[in-house]
Amino acid sequence: MPATTAPPVTRERLNGLMQAYKSTSLLRTAVELGVFDALADGPATADALATRLGAHPRGMRILLDAMVAISLAGVEDGTYRLPPGADQFLVSKSPYYLGDMTKVISSDWEWDALKRLTDAVRHGGTVMDEHAETAEYEYWVDFASFASAIATPTARVMTNALQEFAAARPSLRVLDLACGHGIYGYTFAQRHTQATVTSLDWENVVPVAARHAERLGVADRVEYRTGDMFTAPLGGPYDVVMLTNVLHHFSEERGTDLLRRAREALKPDGRLALVGFTTGDGTPAEDPAPYLFSILMLVWTSEGEVHSRAAYDRMLTESGFVEPELHSVAHLPLRVLIASPAEASPR
């Protein structure tokens, strides 16, 4: 890893780090109460918002003033208003709404695990009784329900990357392993009407995927399977196998085992589509997101972490694929990787 020069540690910087959770709590609470949606109808006083949202006037005033302190609201003569950009990202009727992601990125599930970070560092992996690898972990229901804001643009990048391959095929069978919300497969099926999708996940998650399939208008072309992606029957063979935001939950060896399963389910000339974070695009200081995500994997899995580009290449080679095409997602730290079986014709 290249050498980096860290900025100096200052009182102000430490104070900000120690109190960062307060800002997160303010954002979560404002979304949960509907403060941004209420202010989208026009500026209002704390008393008026308290009445409208079923809150105590004192509680609402303190919340709003704290929101002003971190630029989540503006105020003038006791009347509060939305700050620039909030109407785009924090008002629920906006097509660019990100508020639901507070139930994913800043969820109690993650916070409870991160409270045990010291223990996880000492242990080298999760010390939680229930965690991301636990069968039918309830967090995955929330993830499937509320992660559309990140999944939708990434699914479009994946669909675009597969466009030339998919358009030339009269029929398309797609397997979405650990599908979660299912949006990757369903976005692909929206574009390609000759596509059918098999969505596999835990029994408690599949109903959420089914609701997304209905919403996106492809439910009549979706089959559902339940169980563990390492052991459940997969069927096939498929033209496309999707494995999205999964491999960072496991060691490189375990990830290779899963990719071998995907390869076995894939047609000889099919495509594997991966989504995830990767390291190696910059130093931790230059590209912090994957390294911070690895902290979550440390507290939440036995051996998971964000893998480097080189590790992805090794896993894919060992499981029977050639070096993948890499696609970036605008404004997100995720990568889309498209790989072909090693025996497939050159692309």
pLDDT in tens, 153-178: 999 999 999 999 999 999 999 999 99
- Give the position of tokens 């609201």: 73
What is the value of pTM for the model shown?
Answer: 0.92
Q: For residue 5, what pLDDT band results from cuts at 50, 70 and 90?
A: confident
What pLDDT is stored for residue 293 in this prediction?
A: 96
What would the pLDDT profile of 235-277 be if each residue is shown by its tens digit? 989 999 999 999 999 999 999 999 999 999 999 999 999 999 9
What would the pLDDT profile of 207-224 be if each residue is shown by its tens digit? 999 999 999 999 999 999
Q: In the sheet that 74-76 helps form, which strands lie side by side, from edge to edge?
A: 44-45, 79-81, 74-76
Residue 321 scores a pLDDT above 60: yes
What pLDDT is stored for residue 282 in this prediction?
A: 78
Nearest to 153 by CA among 332, 287, 324, 337: 332
SS3 of 303, please? coil
How many CB atoms lie under 10 A from the CB of residue 262? 25
Residue 346 scores a pLDDT above 60: no
What would the pLDDT profile of 56-82 be if each residue is shown by its tens digit? 999 999 999 999 999 999 999 999 999
Q: Where in the chain is the domain with CATH 3.40.50.150?
A: 139-339
The tokens for 14 are 């430490």
What pLDDT is stored for residue 345 in this prediction?
A: 45
Domain 11-92 - what CATH class? mainly alpha
**279 DSSP 8-state letter:** B
Q: Where in the chain is the domain with CATH 1.10.10.10?
A: 11-92
Nearest to 186 by CA among 161, 222, 150, 158: 222
Whether 297 contacts 304, CB under 8 Å: yes
What pLDDT is stored for residue 1 in this prediction?
A: 60
Whether 28 contacts 98, CB under 8 Å: no
What pLDDT is stored for residue 344 in this prediction?
A: 60
**Architecture of the domain defined by 139-339:** 3-Layer(aba) Sandwich (3.40)
Give me the mean pLDDT over the 8-15 stretch: 95
**Torsion of the alpha carbons at 207, 208, 210 and 211, rounded to the nearest 10:** 120
Whether 158 contacts 273, CB under 8 Å: yes
What pLDDT is stored for residue 2 in this prediction?
A: 59
How many CB atoms lie under 10 A from the CB of residue 347? 10
Exposed / middle / buried, residue 233 (Cβ in 10 Å: 0-12, 13-18, 19+)? exposed
Whether 166 contacts 195, CB under 8 Å: yes
Whether 64 contacts 83, CB under 8 Å: no
Give me the mean pLDDT over the 123-132 stretch: 97
- Look over the chain and give the mean of its residue pLDDT values, rounded to a whole number: 95
